[in-house]
Amino acid sequence: MIIAITNQKGGVGKSTTAINLAAGLAMEGYRVLLIDLDPQANITKVLINPDEEVPLQRSLYNVIINFYPLSNIIQETKTTNLFIAPSHIRLSGADLELSQALDNRSERLKRALLPIMKDFDHIIIDTPPSLGLLTINAFAACEKVLIPVSAGFFALTGLVQLQETIGMVKQTQLNPNLEIMGVLCTFYEHTNVSRDVEKQLREYFGEQVFETLIPKNIRLEEAHSNHTNIFVYSPASSGAVAYKELVKEVLER
């Protein structure tokens, strides 16, 4: 399954969900590839040794802009079965460079994935906080979209625009079978605001909302700074328990 983790809003838990969902699937024995399509390279910084800077040539920039083979940039991580295609800060210019490109600017990632798809059971794509061409590349390349929504005030703003963009990708034949796999409520707290957001999400998206609620849990952030996932860093934490449940739900969908 190829899953893009998307919400054009920043700080909603996309990268955290990408890392922990991918790690959880890898720990279940699946071969998993994480694609860090965000120029901020959060996932890359967490999972690749910070002393070894990823060279531009060995990053997704080279794959998206110069058609360099994706297989040449994939690296192992400390987690068995989990591999990463690293980002690079230069990817921040890729949206502009792509907008001037003439051939298949929305299908660069899709094409790059074709020769390596069979090597992985699951591919998880982390996307930048925008609906630009990099995110469109993710929508064209994936089968399903997972949308994390942070359970705070203004949680729902932008979701209509996101749905419209997904609809546009389907209509223009870029990816006619694209589907929303699910909406994931993140940063959940036992407050009225969180409960309201959850209620509104369930009213609006119905069954598409995952049963699993990802709690606000500082351990999730600490795991990043320890360059690992939540299952290794704090297996008994509420964050680990929740992401484990999410892995189960994703496998059922």
Ligand X SMILES: Nc1ncnc2c1ncn2[C@@H]1O[C@H](COP(=O)(O)OP(=O)(O)O)[C@@H](O)[C@H]1O
Residues forming contacts to ligand X in the complex (CB under 6 A) are 10-16, 42, 129, 186-187, 214, 216-218, 220-221, 224, 239
Query: Measured from the CB of residue 10, what is the shortest distance to ligand X in angstroms?
Result: 4
- Work out whether 228 is an interface residue with Mg ion (CB under 5 A): no
Site size toward Mg ion, by CB under 5 A: 3
Among 9, 14, 88, 216, binds Mg ion (CB under 5 A): 14
Nearer to Mg ion, 42 or 81 (CB): 42
Q: By rule CB under 5 A, what string of x and - marks binding of each residue 42-61 to Mg ion?
A: x-------------------
Binder of residue 112, out of ligand X, Mg ion, none (CB less than 5 to 8 A by kind): none
Query: Measured from the CB of residue 200, what is the shortest distance to ligand X in angstroms?
Result: 19
**Cβ(162)–Cβ(231) under 8 Å?**
no
Binder of residue 221, out of ligand X, Mg ion, none (CB less than 5 to 8 A by kind): ligand X
Query: Measured from the CB of residue 251, what is the shortest distance to ligand X in angstroms?
Result: 21
Binder of residue 217, out of Mg ion, ligand X, none (CB less than 5 to 8 A by kind): ligand X
Binder of residue 194, out of ligand X, Mg ion, none (CB less than 5 to 8 A by kind): none
The residue number with the shortest CB distance to Mg ion is: 15
Label each residue of the chain as H, E or C.
Answer: CEEEECCCCCCCCHHHHHHHHHHHHHHCCCCEEEEECCCCCHHHHHHCCCCCCCCHHHCHHHHHHHCCCHHHCCEECCCCCEEEECCCHHHHHHHHHHHHCCCCCCCHHHHHHCCCHHHCCEEEEECCCCCCHHHHHHHHHCCEEEEEEECCCCCCCCHHHHHHHHHHHHHCCCCCCCEEEEEEEEEECCCHHHHHHHHHHHHHHHHHEEEEEEECCHHHHHHHHCCCCHHHHCCCCHHHHHHHHHHHHHHHC
- Work out whether 15 is an interface residue with Mg ion (CB under 5 A): yes
Query: Measured from the CB of residue 164, what is the shortest distance to ligand X in angstroms?
Result: 20
**CA nearest neighbour of 23 among 250, 251, 245, 244:** 244
Query: Measured from the CB of residue 9, what is the shortest distance to ligand X in angstroms?
Result: 7
Binder of residue 45, out of ligand X, Mg ion, none (CB less than 5 to 8 A by kind): none
